[in-house]
Amino acid sequence: MASERQIAANRRNARKSTGPRSAAGKKRAGCNAYRHGLSVSMSSNAAFAKELDRLVREIAGDTKDAIALERARAVAEAELELARVRRAKVALIERASAFGELDPPRPARVAVSQALRVLNSIVRNPNAPIEGGVTFPEPIDASATMPLQEPDRSAEAVRRMLPELRKLDRYEHRAAMRRDQAVRALMVGTDR
């Protein structure tokens, strides 16, 4: 049990946690749910709904009990959710294996600083010829840095995706917990 002083300190600290303040921070936080898209409900997708209905029917059997059907639906939804996260994990590794990274190739930092130098000289003196000409290096191709042989290539893809995979792992863990709770609820329901 927290003391009065601890509660007051918690409240003071909580007032400081008001989320991102800068415009860039707010924009980034606003896109959190879009990062992997797994928090979006799939039940509106027709193919998913059909798959879900078949699984619910198999779990619930012949029952017409609305509560039992609802509990079977919760189990089936969590199971399909788990499968979705696993597919996402594999797709990420495959993508990294093919392209070396998730984002499209970016110009090297050198190219960005060179572009800034050119822009500055244009702003200062628009009519003057650009010193040293304008040549930008090719964007870095991440796939070129991937091992050519298997299983090294897949392992390197997993290594590069580790931060993303760990996020998905936490999501998968929660889906598994939801499924286990739903199975327990189903058992209690049939026990009535």
What angle, rounded to 10 degrees, do the helices at 162-191 and 66-99 form? 170
> Of 26-34, 84-92, 101-109, 135-143, which part binds other proteins (CB under 8 A)?
84-92
Please select the residue that binds other proteins; options are 71, 82, 100, 171, rule is CB under 8 A: 82
Give the integer Cα–Cα distance in Å for 160 and 155. Answer: 9
Q: How many residues sit close enough to other proteins to count as binding (CB under 8 A)?
A: 43
| C-beta closer to other proteins: residue 25 or 147 | 147
Helix (H, G, I), strand (E, B) or coil at 173: helix
Distant-in-sequence contacts of 146-154, Cβ < 8 A, 24+ apart = 146/97, 146/100, 153/97, 154/93, 154/97
Q: Which residues bind other proteins (CB under 8 A)?
A: 51, 54-55, 58-59, 75, 79-80, 82-83, 86-87, 89-91, 93-94, 97, 147, 150-156, 158-159, 162-163, 165-166, 169, 173, 176, 179-180, 183-184, 186-187, 190-191
